[in-house]
Amino acid sequence: MEIAELFETAVKKANKKGVRRFPLMLETVTEVTETTCTTSDGVDDIRLNAIDADLNSNITVYPKIGSKIIYGRLNDTDDLFVLKYSEIERIVIKMDQQVFEMKDGKFRVLNENTNLKTVFNDLFSTLENAIIQTPSGAGKFIEINKQKFKSLNQQIDKLLF
């Protein structure tokens, strides 16, 4: 059998097995849920992650509404998933009980026991109200220190959510 005949036979067998071709698509995002998005051409249920199982660890990128995405098909299924984003609304990284999230110019860090913002807010509140024992009796931080603690706490609120 010649090479041309072998190639033709292989193509015919591949087509009989139901191999489908699917070009990558570029569309505008119109809606975003926790796990999927919808595009302006009416395609919905496009997965934000190719693996859509309930995983203990994953990274999920949420596109902005109105931004462009490139999506494709997963193997020989009808499952679509996002490959690329032109603009990002938020990113969530989850590893077991640990979560790191970025959105709106802020971030959040937490695990099953605590939240970083809560820790900082509690720290500065405690310092503002602290009573310091000295040889001459109880004392407090001077007003300039209290103002600095308050300022630092406000900066934390601008950085963390």
Question: Could you give the number of structural domains in the chain?
Answer: 2
The DSSP 8-state label assigned to residue 97 in this structure reads T
Q: Supply the pLDDT for residue 3.
A: 74
The reply to whether 107 falls in a domain is no
Name the nearest CA neighbour of 37 among 25, 55, 24, 49. Answer: 49
Q: Supply the pLDDT for residue 11.
A: 66
Residues 142, 70, single domain; the answer is no
Q: Supply the pLDDT for residue 18.
A: 57
The reply to whether 30 falls in a domain is yes
Domain boundary among 91, 107, 136: 91
Q: Supply the pLDDT for residue 74.
A: 82
The model carries a pTM of 0.78
pLDDT averaged per 10 residues in sequence order, the chain, 161 residues: 71 61 89 96 93 85 98 87 97 96 97 96 93 89 93 96 94
Q: Supply the pLDDT for residue 158.
A: 96
> At how many degrees (to 10) do helices 116-128 and 143-159 cross?
170
The reply to whether 144 falls in a domain is yes
Q: Supply the pLDDT for residue 52.
A: 72
Q: What is the extent of the structural domain holding 140? A: 116-159
C-alpha–C-alpha distance, residues 68 and 87, integer Å:
7
The reply to whether 66 falls in a domain is yes
Alpha helices in the chain (DSSP H): 3-16, 116-128, 143-159
Q: Supply the pLDDT for residue 14.
A: 62
Q: Supply the pLDDT for residue 20.
A: 58
The reply to whether 100 falls in a domain is no
User: At which residue do the structure tokens 């695990």 appear?
Assistant: 111
Residues 64, 132, single domain; the answer is no
The DSSP 8-state label assigned to residue 36 in this structure reads E
Residues 17, 86, single domain; the answer is yes
CATH of the domain at 36: 2.40.50
Phi, psi torsion values for 137, nearest 5 degrees: 120, -170
Residues 132, 82, single domain; the answer is no
